[in-house]
Amino acid sequence: MIMDNLIALLVIIPLLAAPLCLLLPARWSWLLTTAVSWLVFGLTILMLYQVDSQGILSYHLGGWEPPWGIEYRVDALNALVALIVAGIGAVVIPYARLSVRAEVAADNSAGFYAAYLLALTGLLGITLTGDVFNLFVFLEISSLSSYILISQHRERRALVAAYQYLVMGTIGATFLLIGIGLLYGMTGTLNMADLAERLQEVEQTRTVYTGFAFIVVGASIKLALFPLHWWMPNAYTYAPSVVSAFLAATATKVAVYVLLRFLFTVFGVEFSFRSEFFQSALIFLSVAAVLVGSALAIVQINVKRLLAYSSVAQIGYMILGLALLNLLGLTAATLHLFNHALMKGALFLALGCIALRMGATEISQLRGMGKRMPITMAAFVIGGLSLIGVPGTAGFISKWYLALAAFERGWWPLILVIVVGSLLAVVYIWRVVEVAYFQESEDQSRCEAPLSMLIPTAVLALANIYFGLDTRLPLYLADSAAQLLLGSAP
Amino acid sequence: MDWLLKDWFSHYNYWIAIFLMMIGFYTVISRGNMVKQIVGLNIFQTSVFILYISLGNVAGGSAPIVREGITLFSNPLPHVLILTAIVVGVATSALGLALIVRIKEAYGTIEEDEIREVDRMRESVEIHIEDALQDKTLHEDTPR
Amino acid sequence: MTRDPVLKITAKFLIPLIMLFALYVQFHGEYSPGGGFQAGVIFASAIILYGLVFGVEAASAVLPMSFLIRQAAAGVLLYGGVGVVSMLLGGQFLNYNLLAADPVSGQHLGIILVELGVGLTVTAVMVIIFFVFADRNRP
């Protein structure tokens, strides 16, 4: 039964655990959430093996055949994104208990974990579903719960950040809804595979072009593509630390997945990139994201905001890989989904440890932290090195592939952009390192974070090194995903 | 005149949807009052609901309820989809308004520029305090 | 809360009718337009009307907040539970065909249970939203 319903269980288990969180006594909610997150992670690994051995998996919800019923469809790309979401979710949640207790009002921890489980449900649902309207619904489930999660910080600015994200996110999701409606009007179907087939007959109509534009812009808002990124720095800065780590590592990745899925599976490469303008626009925007995002990161005072701007830059790398439109570029983009989740996860978790001890994440608070919190700062440095792309870390691998892809195209200036982006990353990471290791604080006492927070941070930091040395798993998955995306072109 | 009606207004439902969409969107981006923004967001979403429902209309079709003697139905699927989207819209508005209530309690205002002002003032105050503290520690460090 | 006797008597007259209509929409939902969403909102509107006319305290004495939150959670669990039962019976999630001896009555049973879950949750959530906003500025 478990193997037959594996895909559906990934969504159902967290979905049903969320109301249970509210029914059970509040002290059990963290335990339940931890158990569920790890169970889901285990099932995702099982699913990965199944996809590897059987190829594309398809699950018909309610026993209704596609294209009439909702189909869950899993191939190498979904499996990789689901692994990222479930993996980060599982690592982050043991960390959450103490961090949430410090940053969230005490009477609401059951609600916090219920919202977290719903966010997990939504993100997994987006990745697994093969139905465009279902994708919209899961997108809204994950978005609504992430607005709640962001607003839970005691600091009142979290409320404004959550509100701004709500307005932006709703506009993005509604754009997506308009696009889906126009496609449905032209084809009469909502199933992705069916849609891809039927769109070929009507693809020269203005309606389809309009739908395409709406979907691309809607997804770009959700993934914070420059210049639609302005909601993100506030949201990540003022959210509770766990939420920043979870959302930075998963939510934008899932939005990138949505864009990939629509461009390559639903519309098909030939349609999406028929006009050279679209490709050059994407390349231009991603280059701007890399340069402007990194430059803005340098001038930030708050380290969390610094990391958020660096996320804008890193998303630029992913879109750049996508827009290069060759196998290496897509491999780099999907690989960077995985690696960026690891490094941003590690960095935000390390910052959460500092926030727990110091109560803030302003750069001046980090004085002398290299001595006071050696393990946390070591994790931060490893994450930072990975962000820069130093050989031996995960970040190097994806940037290497990106550079190879640009080289294959013969577009030299892009390689220069990658190098400049990395140099800018050196500058902003160095600012933090300089303050933490070379400036003395008055208080020299050690104040290392508690073990339950230290272990997840260290696990993610070490994963950056592990996957920088042993690249088989992510590379294999990214490569098969990229082949699938390009092969699925009509 | 005839061509105008035929080419431009035969699908008047799209005009209504676009009109509402632009009203809503303009309200969201032009107003600083958060409640007005949420209302604009609501109008924006509603226009999409109308777009979907009008897409499902079949000329001459009746309501999609199985009865004797009726063979031509409107397409019920867009209605079902929009039922879900309406629920999402209600949830979004409720959450947005709830956030606004909390913002009002925390800041005493729901105008975006005033909130920005309050935050900026507090930030500068904090920086002053920090500077003052640093000066103090510097003075204490220097031997007298 | 109002002191106007006309409002009070009209509300007293209307509230049971609204509730009855909600139940009709709920349980006739498989044959005619309606179902859990609509019924839930109509039922909630009856309670909200009561709260507007007789005061929020009186309404929340009937339906306390803790109960409403449990009801909302229970509705979702009922919905999901139907799906889980159909999985345990060897079908896919929410495959109603297996719930009874033959597919048609299985579909019937499945839809009634699922819509009941939806109705419970929607009622509870709408009333919660009203209470939360109405109660907020109370000293």
**String of DSSP letters for A215-248:** HHHHHHHHHT-TTS-THHHHHHHHS-HHHHHHHH
Q: What is the pLDDT of residue A42?
A: 92
Is the residue at A407 inside a domain? yes
Banded model confidence at residue A146, pLDDT cuts 50, 70, 90: very high
**String of DSSP letters for C4-69:** -HHHHHHHHHHHHHHHHHHHHHHHTTTTSS--HHHHHHHHHHHHHHHHHHH-HHHHHHHS-HHHHH
Chains that touch B (3 or more CB pairs under 8 A): A, C
The pLDDT of residue A488 is above 80: no
A19–C73: do the CB atoms touch at under 8 Å?
Answer: yes
Which residues lie below 8 Å from residue A472, measured CB to CB, with a gap of 6+?
none
| A150 neighbors B97 (Cβ within 8 angstroms) | no
* Candidate from B65, B87, B94 with C-beta closest to C37: B87
Residue A214 to residue A175: CA distance in whole angstroms: 5
Each residue's pLDDT tens digit, A236-271: 888 888 999 999 999 999 999 999 999 988 888 888
Each residue's pLDDT tens digit, B19-58: 999 999 999 988 889 999 999 999 999 999 998 888 877 7
Contacts of C74 in chain A (CB under 8 A): 19, 23
Contacts of A61 in chain C (CB under 8 A): 92-94
The pLDDT of residue A489 is above 50: no
What does pLDDT average to over chain A? 87
Is the residue at A209 inside a domain? no
**Residue-range definition of the domain harbouring residue A371:** 296-490
Q: What is the pLDDT of residue B143?
A: 45
Q: What is the pLDDT of residue B52?
A: 87
C72–A20: do the CB atoms touch at under 8 Å?
Answer: no
Each residue's pLDDT tens digit, C46-82: 999 999 998 888 888 888 888 999 999 999 999 998 8
C37–B63: do the CB atoms touch at under 8 Å?
Answer: no
Q: Where are the domains of chain C?
A: 5-135
Q: Where are the domains of chain B?
A: 2-110, 112-144
**CB atoms inside a 10 Å sphere around CB B131:** 10
Banded model confidence at residue A454, pLDDT cuts 50, 70, 90: confident
CB-count burial class (<10 Å; 0-12, 13-18, 19+) for C102: exposed
b/e burial code for range C1-39 (CB count within 10 A of at least 16 → b): eeeeeeeeeebeeebeebbebbeebbbebeeeebbbbbb
Structure tokens at A51: 């996809």
Q: Work out the angle between the directed axes of helices A327-358 and A394-409 (0-180°, nearest 10).
A: 150
From A396, A423, A481, A390, select the one nearest A291 (Cα to Cα). A423
Which residues lie below 8 Å from residue A95, measured CB to CB, with a gap of 6+?
A242, A245, A349, A352, A452, A453, A456, A457
Chains that touch A (3 or more CB pairs under 8 A): B, C
Is the residue at A89 inside a domain? no
In this structure, what are the phi and psi dihedrals at residue C100, rounded to the nearest 5 degrees?
-130, -175
Each residue's pLDDT tens digit, B80-122: 888 889 989 999 999 999 999 989 888 888 888 888 888 888 7
Give me the residue label for tokens 């994790």. A379
* Candidate from B65, B87, B101 with C-beta closest to C33: B65
Contacts of C111 in chain A (CB under 8 A): none
Contacts of C83 in chain A (CB under 8 A): 12
Q: What is the count of structural domains for chain A?
A: 1
Residue A391 to residue A388: CA distance in whole angstroms: 9
Half-sphere exposure of B130 (CA within 13 A, CB side): 10
CA dihedral C63, C67, C72, C77 (to 10 degrees): -140
Q: Identify the weakest region by mean pLDDT among A92-96, B135-139, C80-84.
A: B135-139
CB-count burial class (<10 Å; 0-12, 13-18, 19+) for A39: middle
Which residues lie below 8 Å from residue A199, measured CB to CB, with a gap of 6+?
A183, A186, A187, A208, A266, A267, A268, A271
Q: What is the pLDDT of residue A1?
A: 63
Each residue's pLDDT tens digit, A167-203: 999 999 999 999 999 999 888 888 888 888 888 888 7
Banded model confidence at residue B131, pLDDT cuts 50, 70, 90: low
A167–B102: do the CB atoms touch at under 8 Å?
Answer: no
Banded model confidence at residue A205, pLDDT cuts 50, 70, 90: confident
Using the Cβ of C133 and the Cβ atoms of chain A, whether some distance falls under 8 Å is answered with no
The pLDDT of residue B8 is above 80: no
Residues of chain C short of pLDDT 50, as ranges, are 139
In chain A, whose CA is at the least distance from the CA of B84? A137
The pLDDT of residue A429 is above 80: yes
Q: pLDDT exceeding 70 applies to what percent of chain A?
A: 99
Q: What is the pLDDT of residue A451?
A: 82
| A293 neighbors A310 (Cβ within 8 angstroms) | yes
Using the Cβ of C91 and the Cβ atoms of chain A, whether some distance falls under 8 Å is answered with yes
Using the Cβ of A276 and the Cβ atoms of chain B, whether some distance falls under 8 Å is answered with no
Q: What DSSP character marks residue A106? A: G
Q: What is the pLDDT of residue B46?
A: 92
Q: What is the pLDDT of residue B96?
A: 93
From B44, B47, B28, select the one nearest B36 (Cα to Cα). B28
Each residue's pLDDT tens digit, A290-304: 999 999 998 888 888
**From start to end of B11-138, where are the E strands?**
none
Is the residue at A272 inside a domain? no
* Candidate from B28, B84, B103 with C-beta closest to A160: B103
Residues 5-44 of A with CB under 8 A from C: 5, 8, 12, 15-16, 18-20, 22-23
Contacts of C91 in chain A (CB under 8 A): 63
Each residue's pLDDT tens digit, A37-62: 999 999 999 888 888 888 888 888 87
| A80 neighbors A89 (Cβ within 8 angstroms) | no
Shortest CA gap C77–chain A (Å): 6
Shortest CA gap B37–chain A (Å): 8
Q: pLDDT exceeding 90 applies to what percent of chain A?
A: 31
Once rounded to an integer, what is the mean pLDDT over residues A301-309?
A: 89
Once rounded to an integer, what is the mean pLDDT over residues A339-367?
A: 86
* Candidate from C69, C76, C95 with C-beta closest to A62: C95
Q: What is the pLDDT of residue B142?
A: 46
Using the Cβ of A185 and the Cβ atoms of chain C, whether some distance falls under 8 Å is answered with no
Structure tokens at A383: 């994450």
Question: What is the gyration radius of the CA atoms in chain A, in angstroms?
Answer: 21
At the topology level, CATH places domain B2-110 in Helix Hairpins (1.10.287)
Each residue's pLDDT tens digit, A383-402: 999 988 888 888 888 888 99
The pLDDT of residue A127 is above 60: yes
Using the Cβ of B97 and the Cβ atoms of chain C, whether some distance falls under 8 Å is answered with yes
In chain A, whose CA is at the least distance from the CA of B57? A185
Could you tell me how many CB contacts below 8 A there are between chain A and chain C?
50
